[in-house]
Chains A and B, each alone.
Chain A
Amino acid sequence: MHTVRTLYQLALADFRERTRRYSFLITLLGTLFFGFLVITGKWTLRLGEYRGEYNSAWVGSLMGSASTFMLALFGFYLVKNSLSRDRRTRVGEILAATPLSDHLYIASKFVSNTAVLTLMAVALAGAAIVMQLLGPVATGFDLWALLAPFIFLCLPVVTLVAATAVLFESIRPLRGSLGNILYLIIAQTAIVASFQTDIPLLDFGGLGMFIPSMQDAALAVYPDAKLGFQMGFIRLVPGTSVETMKLFHWGGITWSLAMVPLRLLWIGVAVGLAALATRFFDRFDPARARHAESATRRERPLPAEDDPRTSGVPSVGWSDVAPAEFNFGFLRMWRAELRLMVKGFHWSWYAIALGLIAAQLTVPYEYARTFAMSAAWIWPLAMWSSMGSREARFNTGQLVFSSAYPAARQLPAMWLAGLTVAALTGGGMMARAFLAGEVGHLSALLTGALFVPTLALFLGVVSGTKKMFEVSYLLIWYLGAVHHLPALDFLGAIDDSAADAVPQAYLIMSLALLLGAFLFRRRQMATGMA
């Protein structure tokens, strides 16, 4: 009983801390905006050119499955900050000195993560109810048919995402950007598997529970129909819209207790992942972190305050310090910013970056343009995401911003350093496009090289965190670089985007973002917010 009460109190405190932040409100509004996209048909669920009538069963399944996959993809990034906050605020060290067990602590984070994501799902379920009540066709209101998909599809996935976030935060190498990229790959693979598999055990999203029933209903009306299953921001055939698609009536499925064990299995997997996190959890002991580090790096003796080399009477006095001479050099500032940006990465990071540049130069042009370039410009994610937010994250703002002209000197140097990273990591493709005379592609690449670090700088300055850029960029990269959505093709990977003047749009956007970053930083310094 005492354990349950402790778990409840810990999870509640964590939940309150998160939901009382301004950023949570923004996230909730973003979630509701996604609900709006579904309501207005921007995000659709269809079987070829057919869709169900907007009755409770269809709307519930549409919104439930949309919520499930959006939370599976991006919910992770919303909640993967619980342990890191305790680490940063040092609350973790206080908790570590109490009798609180590792299992209970991790369990509380798992419960809190689940609660936050469930709240998002509840918001989307509310949107489903609104859609049913105010939507174009409202044939009968069945609350259970509306909400059941959220319970059967969404909740198990939410627990799975919550546990994965705790696990990633517990494993040191997965705490940062590498973990963010890895998760996107895992989530994307799992979603594709869930879409395509006939094996219920691999269907983590639970789509298999109702898709066959939908297809049967469609075939009953259109026996010769070619059915598939698509979900997402789907481009419809020109001249068609969600409203003009061919309709069929689907009365839904009977959500029964027999379906529960399979969904409970995924909750069991989530509990298992949370338990696994306990094994890796370092209980905020910096020594354990250092041990882990020294296993991969050269052993470095830890300094002590009474180290004879760093104590005793110094050999020089103030009069021995040479007078200061001033001559600001922008090139030196840029070099210093670049060093700050690239420092601290393992040598293997550079090896892989070099490998990706080599791939840009050697694999067939089309592969280089798509696969090699998309990999090359997701790899420096952690470097770019430090831009603009570093001073806030490391609490160095007072030192840096009390220098002369920080917005005019340091900010442009930081931006240029980010640009340098983009130019270097995508340099192979740029050289190749230049040599091949692919002017359109080269200009798209140059615009992309301008856009990515500028976006990073702007979002870093505005938010003071790495996360806003990492999540936004991962979304843009996923839809633009991986799925080649023309409007988000900042890489110039497809010819369509160049024809649609996408590079020009990104150029204008980059200049606006750069100006925004500069003005915002100036405002922060003027108001003492920086």
Chain B
Amino acid sequence: MSNLEICEVGKRYQGDVWGVSDLSLEIGTGVLGLLGPNGAGKSTLMRILATVTKPTTGFVKWEGVDIATSPNPLRKVLGYLPQDFGIYPNLNALEFLSYLATARGLSGRSAGRRIDKLLELVNLSDARKRPLGSLSGGMKQRVGIAQALLNDPRLLIVDEPTAGLDPEERVRFRSLLAELAADRIVILSSHIVSDVEAAATSIAVIKKGHLRFKGVAEDLLRTVEGKVWEMVIPSTDLAIAKQKFVLSGTVRTSEGVRIRLVADEQPTHAARTRTPTLEDAYLHLLTDRRNEDG
């Protein structure tokens, strides 16, 4: 069984800014959903795991081998979709994927067969001969997904993979991730909680470069059991409510604004408890820690 061990990893950038700090995790088969606000350090961690950058402190081991000193054993079985990647505009999808398949060491015949099927899988068969420079953002993202699957990876790292995809494609991609995770490690980084909720078998939350939570969704949900409330307030009180509570939703109604909030105590007598969602739990975790940090 594949195994990825992250031990006390830190990455320092210029100006003594730490992207991630003292982060430890052990990851096995399944989808690990990596959640965190913008600038939390998710992409830094993804780049370290993808061997694109080296950690300043700590180590990452793939099947017992340090990936900083010996990156190639991991690279052979790695599929990586960065958050922000480019394409060669004069090549078409077929040529671009062939190029990357060659760089990844696939045999010519195997590359040809896989590229055909992968292009069908991401619905780009009919656009295979179009220059990549003429494709829409969503289509380029699908080319990115196809390239990440080229070498049948045992570790698949996808950073904000649903950016630019339409709702239908997003749902399909989440299902694909779940299917892939049956016999490999998939790390899905996102700030969209619904993506992680739908696909992840376990969840890690990073904030300011530190790991704040690691466990299954149920564990995270339990942290807000009985703490999610809903009530209707006059729209004029909305600003005050935003300052006072952690709001996870607002809906305008004819009677005022129905707000959904996370609080340890019942905020007013009119407030009613609701079944928590992962979004409630995530927001609670972030704000809880924010208060501690402050």
Residues of A within 8 A of B134 (CB): 290, 300, 302-303
Q: Which residues of A contact B (CB under 8 A)?
A: 290, 300, 302-305, 307, 309-318, 320-329, 332-333, 336, 339-340, 343-344, 390, 394-406, 409-410, 526-528, 530
Report the Cα distance A106→B50, complex, angstroms: 42
Residues of B within 8 A of A333 (CB): 102-103
Residues of A within 8 A of B139 (CB): 303, 305, 310
Tell me if B121 is interfacial: C-beta within 8 Å of chain A.
Answer: yes
| A304 adjacent to B72 (CB under 8 Å) | no
Q: How far is the CB of A156 from chain B (nearest CB, A)?
A: 39
A-B contact pairs, 14 of them (CB 8 A): A311-B169, A318-B179, A325-B107, A326-B76, A326-B110, A329-B108, A336-B98, A340-B88, A396-B86, A396-B88, A398-B82, A403-B103, A527-B53, A528-B53
| B88 adjacent to A402 (CB under 8 Å) | no
Residues of A within 8 A of B107 (CB): 325-327, 329
B117 closest partner in A (C-beta): A321
- 8 more A-B residue pairs beyond the given contacts A302-B134, A336-B99, A527-B54, with a C-beta to C-beta distance below 8 A: A309-B127, A311-B123, A329-B107, A333-B103, A396-B85, A398-B47, A409-B103, A528-B47
| A326 adjacent to B126 (CB under 8 Å) | no
Tell me if B80 is interfacial: C-beta within 8 Å of chain A.
Answer: yes
Report the Cα distance A336→B82, complex, angstroms: 22
Contacting A312 at CB < 8 Å: which of B90, B109, B123, B151? Answer: B123
Q: How far is the CB of B4 from chain A (nearest CB, A)?
A: 15
Residues of B within 8 A of A317 (CB): 121, 179
Residues of A within 8 A of B130 (CB): 300, 303
Residues of A within 8 A of B126 (CB): 307, 309-310
Tell me if B91 is interfacial: C-beta within 8 Å of chain A.
Answer: yes
Contacting A404 at CB < 8 Å: which of B76, B99, B136? Answer: B76
Looking at B90, B103, B114, which has the most chain A CB atoms within 10 Å of its CB? B103
Q: Do A314 and B121 contact each other (CB < 8 Å), given the known contacts A303-B130, A332-B102, A403-B103?
A: yes
Over the window 40-75 of chain B, the binary record of Cβ atoms lying under 8 Å from chain A Cβ atoms (1 yes, 0 no) is 000000010011111000000000000000001001
| A400 adjacent to B127 (CB under 8 Å) | no
Q: How far is the CB of A359 from chain B (nearest CB, A)?
A: 28
Report the Cα distance A410→B86, complex, angstroms: 18
Interface of chain A, helix or strand or loop or mixed? loop
Contacting A403 at CB < 8 Å: which of B54, B75, B149? Answer: B75
Q: Do A324 and B103 contact each other (CB < 8 Å), given the known contacts A303-B136, A314-B121?
A: no
| A398 adjacent to B80 (CB under 8 Å) | yes
| A316 adjacent to B76 (CB under 8 Å) | no
| B54 adjacent to A310 (CB under 8 Å) | no
Q: How far is the CB of B100 from chain A (nearest CB, A)?
A: 6
Contacting B103 at CB < 8 Å: which of A318, A344, A406? Answer: A406
Residues of B within 8 A of A322 (CB): 110, 113-114, 117
Report the Cα distance A290→B109, complex, angstroms: 35
Q: How far is the CB of A126 from chain B (nearest CB, A)?
A: 31
A345 closest partner in B (C-beta): B90
Tell me if B106 is interfacial: C-beta within 8 Å of chain A.
Answer: yes
Tell me if B135 is interfacial: C-beta within 8 Å of chain A.
Answer: yes
Over the window 267-279 of chain B, the binary record of Cβ atoms lying under 8 Å from chain A Cβ atoms (1 yes, 0 no) is 0000000000000
Q: How far is the CB of B237 from chain A (nearest CB, A)?
A: 36
Q: How far is the CB of B115 from chain A (nearest CB, A)?
A: 10
Residues of B within 8 A of A328 (CB): 102, 105
Residues of A within 8 A of B123 (CB): 310-312, 314
Q: Do A526 and B54 contact each other (CB < 8 Å), given the known contacts A321-B118, A324-B152, A394-B88?
A: yes
Tell me if B25 is interfacial: C-beta within 8 Å of chain A.
Answer: no
B168 closest partner in A (C-beta): A311
Q: Which residues of B contact A (CB under 8 A)?
A: 47, 50-54, 72, 75-76, 78, 80, 82, 84-91, 95, 98-100, 102-110, 113-114, 117-118, 120-127, 130, 134-136, 138-139, 147, 149-152, 166, 168-169, 172, 176, 179-180
Report the Cα distance A410→B99, complex, angstroms: 10
Residues of A within 8 A of B95 (CB): 339, 343
| A405 adjacent to B117 (CB under 8 Å) | no
Q: How far is the CB of A338 from chain B (nearest CB, A)?
A: 11
| A316 adjacent to B120 (CB under 8 Å) | yes
| A404 adjacent to B75 (CB under 8 Å) | yes
A304 closest partner in B (C-beta): B136
A324 closest partner in B (C-beta): B152
| B114 adjacent to A321 (CB under 8 Å) | yes
Q: Do A395 and B102 contact each other (CB < 8 Å), given the known contacts A316-B120, A324-B152, A326-B76?
A: no
Residues of B within 8 A of A321 (CB): 114, 117-118, 121, 149, 152
Residues of A within 8 A of B52 (CB): 397-398, 401-402, 528, 530
Contacting B80 at CB < 8 Å: which of A313, A336, A399? Answer: A399
Residues of B within 8 A of A290 (CB): 134
Report the Cα distance A233→B134, complex, angstroms: 48
Q: How far is the CB of B140 from chain A (nearest CB, A)?
A: 11
Report the Cα distance A328→B147, complex, angstroms: 17
Report the Cα distance A508→B89, complex, angstroms: 36
Q: How far is the CB of A396 from chain B (nearest CB, A)?
A: 5
Residues of A within 8 A of B106 (CB): 324-327
B165 closest partner in A (C-beta): A305
Q: How far is the CB of B29 from chain A (nearest CB, A)?
A: 16
| A402 adjacent to B51 (CB under 8 Å) | yes
Q: Do A340 and B99 contact each other (CB < 8 Å), given the known contacts A305-B139, A398-B82, A404-B105?
A: yes
Report the Cα distance A528→B105, complex, angstroms: 22
| B98 adjacent to A305 (CB under 8 Å) | no
Residues of B within 8 A of A400 (CB): 100, 103
Q: How far is the CB of A260 from chain B (nearest CB, A)?
A: 48
Report the Cα distance A345→B168, complex, angstroms: 37
Q: How far is the CB of B69 from chain A (nearest CB, A)?
A: 10
Q: Do A324 and B85 contact each other (CB < 8 Å), given the known contacts A303-B127, A402-B80, A406-B103?
A: no
B82 closest partner in A (C-beta): A398
